[in-house]
Amino acid sequence: MTPVIGLTDDLAACHALRETVFIREQGVSEAEEYDGLDDQADHILARLNGQPVGCARILYQGDTGKIGRVCVLRQARGTGLGAALIRACLEHLQGKPGIARAMLGAQTHAIGFYEKLGFTTFGPEYLDAGIPHRDMDRPL
């Protein structure tokens, strides 16, 4: 079955996914995960058979849309859902007037995944929630 991916206001579903992936699986603290920026963001939700399986959020600064909090449940990983979720974020950003660039902070193990989607690394490696990251961007 094909996932349904799009803009959502179902923050409870996004929070449940992020809690499963970031807090339980990766050990991110609740304080770091829930940073108070969700109400300023657009949220993209992926559903499979009606069930939430992945999400991302997009924050805006100047001409840049910053994709973050990208997560996919373990049972949906390796299916292409993550790439479809990022493509949905990029499509959403392309429809926003004045937004010319997408940016994200990639966990270093996922850099190759994002490179396949057209992103390029820049800047030094850094820790976010104790996890090594690199910033990446791509023009829209």
Q: What is the pLDDT of residue 109?
A: 94
Averaged pLDDT of the chain: 96
CA angle, 71 as apex, 89 and 39 as ends, to 5°?
Answer: 65
Q: What is the pLDDT of residue 139?
A: 97
Q: What is the pLDDT of residue 86?
A: 98
Residue for token pair 């004045």: 98
Q: What is the pLDDT of residue 111?
A: 97
Amino acid code (one letter) for 3: P
Within 8 A by CB and 6+ apart from 131, the residues are 26, 28, 107
Q: Under CATH, domain 4-139 is a member of which superfamily?
A: Gcn5-related N-acetyltransferase (GNAT) (3.40.630.30)
Per-residue pLDDT averaged across 4-24, rounded?
Answer: 97
What pLDDT, in 10s, does the model give residues 112-137? 999 999 999 999 999 998 999 999 99
Question: Does 1 have pLDDT greater than 80?
Answer: no
Pair 136, 111: CB distance under 8 Å: yes
What pLDDT, in 10s, does the model give residues 32-79? 999 999 999 999 999 999 999 999 999 999 999 999 999 999 999 999
Q: What is the pLDDT of residue 2?
A: 86
Strand partners, 19: none
Question: Does 29 have pLDDT greater than 90?
Answer: yes
| Rounded-to-integer distance, Cα 56 and Cα 85, Å | 7
